[in-house]
Structure 1
Amino acid sequence: MIKVAIAGARGKMGQEAVHTVIKNDKMMLVAALDYKNANTTLADTGLFPTDYTVPVYTDLAELNEATAPDVLIDLTSPEVVYTHTKQALTLGIRPVVGTTGFTDEQLAELTTLAQQQKRGCIIAPNFAVGAILMMKFAKEAARFFPDVEIIEMHHDQKLDAPSGTGLKTAQMIQEVRTAKEQGHPNEKETYAGARGANFDGMHIHSVRLPGLVAHQQVLFGGDGQLLTIRHDSFNRGSFMSGVAYCVEEVMTQQTLIYGLENLI
């Protein structure tokens, strides 16, 4: 039985993760990490059934001492996720992280720490299996279509732009694509930002609107043709099979893995 703690349990993704872990017969939810609601239970928050008596802590070290989780699922925010992940590894807890916003320097530091601790750590910009396949297909297509733009679309409460999935897609394409600037060499933005973020000559466009969940399309242009690879998550349940998979898989790892595509 894998003992699991969840950071960000009151969020929409966190609530889904709570139900997923509790219903999984290979896992046991032992605690929640929150920035408030110390000395209460998940049931006390009013967001869960009355029998969800899992304790809530505001301090990860205290949580670890009291409940000794094997895995910390972090679904919080970019402002705190690095601190949580680093502290979890230091305490010997294996992080499974769905929050994005890490810098390259932070990822490098966490990779070194995971190797020193011989503890697995999985950071997944997207837990949806379909989204992972979209990224893999996009990388393959980029071998033949070097002119590409990414349009990622999310709900209007998302804090980071571009999304972790959009950035990860661009990084995967970069591995097989010869760097070049796309568009007319004398192209000029009449309004700054009109062409989106420039990543290695590719452009990433971020859309934020109410009603959206998580959507992305990768457009490849060629002579007389357009190839579009698209994935849509219509609800947060689409991410939960990936979360459960990562909780089991992180127990077998001894280093940091960035991106679920490295496991599928």
Structure 2
Amino acid sequence: MSDTQQDSGSIRVAVLGAHGRMGRRAVDAISEAADIELVARLGSSDRLDAALDAGATHVLDLTVPEASPQNAAFAVEHGLHAVIGTSGWDASRREQLVAQLGQSPRVGVLIAPNFSLGSVVASAVAAKAARWFESVEVVELHHPDKADAPSGTAVRTAELIGQARAEAGVPASPDATRHDPHGARGAVVDGVHVHAVRLRGLHAHQEVLLGGPGEQLTVRHDAFDRGAYMPGVLLGLRAVASHPGLTYGLDGYLDLD
């Protein structure tokens, strides 16, 4: 990407994974946005170079965990800003991406475990509240076609909660369980128990349960279809160029204190 392209402020997007369910919705949303131009729709069999041929300044990666790191590396190498909505970006993968970005200091990359603005706000609220409650657990509920568990959103929420509680010096949630051969207590992420439900009829839902003596607070978010993610996708594309380096979580672009 030339300096002229970078300085023009134009947003020309190549969507990777454009033929998937999320990709198709993103293509429609980008096509309807007056300030963003869709220049390429790429599937798994298409060459990444096609994004360059189309004059893209940004890529939106909605592919699969196996392909996403390669796609991100390609974008960084060629000076394309990247918005990534693919799961599987654990700490080690993010560290590798940060190292790659060191060679391209003007490039911005956003990895968004969730594009729903409501979900991002709910997770931030839960993390803020978690330092004031003795107990906290996360329950995420999704459709049965979802491949990963716990969800990336639940992991991100638990990470935010764990960080907030550690900074406030809050001890671990009380739990007398000593025998759980079937894993009924769920996964543990940064000291927070996370439970995954997969049920026909659901789309994407999350509850953070916070408990103290004599009271309980529930922070819940519900997404009923993929339209909930499109405002966040567009926000990410509009903001990523002004945030060089790696941003993990759409909350990095919102003023959530």
Q: TM (normalized to structure 2)?
A: 0.89
Question: 2:126: which partner in 1?
Answer: 138
> What does the per-residue CA deviation read over 1:216-264, in whole Å, with 9 as the maximum and x for residues that have no partner?
0000111111110000001111110110111010121211100011111
Cα distance in 2 for partners of 1:186, 1:76 equals: 39
Q: Are positions 1:13 and 2:22 aligned together?
A: yes
SS of 2:193 mapped into structure 1: strand
Which residue in 1 is equivalent to 2:4? none
CA distance in 1, matches of 2:50, 2:139: 40
Given residue 94 of structure 1, which amino acid in structure 2 is its aligned partner?
H
Secondary structure of the 1:108 match is helix
Q: Which residue of 2 aligns with 1:253?
A: 243
Corresponding position of 1:85:
72
**Aligned residue in 1 for 2:189:** 199
1:57-111 deviations in whole A, cap 9, x for unaligned?
x111x21331121111111112211221122111211110111111211101112
* Partner residue in 1 for 2:114: 126
Unaligned runs of 5+ in 2: 1-9
- Which one of 98, 104, 110 corresponds to residue 117 of structure 1? 104
**Structure 1 portions without partners, runs of 5+:** 37-57
Residue identity (%): 39
Alignment correspondent of 1:169: 157
What secondary structure, in the 3-state scheme, does the structure 2 residue paired with 1:175 have? helix
Q: Which runs of 4+ in 1 moved over 2 A?
A: 178-187
2:235 counterpart SS class: helix
- Looking at structure 2, the residues matched to 114 and 16 of structure 1 have their Cα atoms a distance apart, in angstroms, of 29
Contact 2:109 2:246 in 1 (8 A): yes
1:22-171 → structure 2 map (5 Å cutoff)? 22-36=31-45, 58-60=46-48, 62-118=49-105, 119-171=107-159
Amino acid across the alignment from 1:226: Q
| AA of the residue aligned to 1:221 | G
Paired residue secondary structure (2:39)? strand
Q: Is the 8 A contact 2:162 2:192 kept in 1?
A: no
* SS of aligned partner of 2:67: helix
From the superposition, tell whether residues 65 and 243 of structure 1 become closer, same or farther in structure 2 (CA, over 3 Å).
Answer: closer
Separation in 2, partners of 1:11, 1:146: 42
**In structure 2, distance between residues paired with 1:229 and 1:186:** 25
Looking at structure 2, the residues matched to 253 and 247 of structure 1 have their Cα atoms a distance apart, in angstroms, of 11
Shift of 1:190: 4.1
Q: What CA deviation, in whole Å up to 9, does each residue of 1:158-214 have, x standing for no partner? A: 2221111101111111112147554444531142x2111012332001112222221
How many residues get paired?
Answer: 241
Distance in 2 (CA, whole Å) between partners of 1:117 and 1:211 is 44
Instruction: Rate the CA distance shift 1:32–1:156 in 2: closer, same or farther, 3 A.
Output: same
TM-aligned CA distance change 1:137 to 1:86, over 3 Å:
same
CA gap 1:184/1:241 in 2 versus in 1, 3 angstroms = closer
- Alpha-carbon RMSD: 1.5
Aligned to 2:3: none
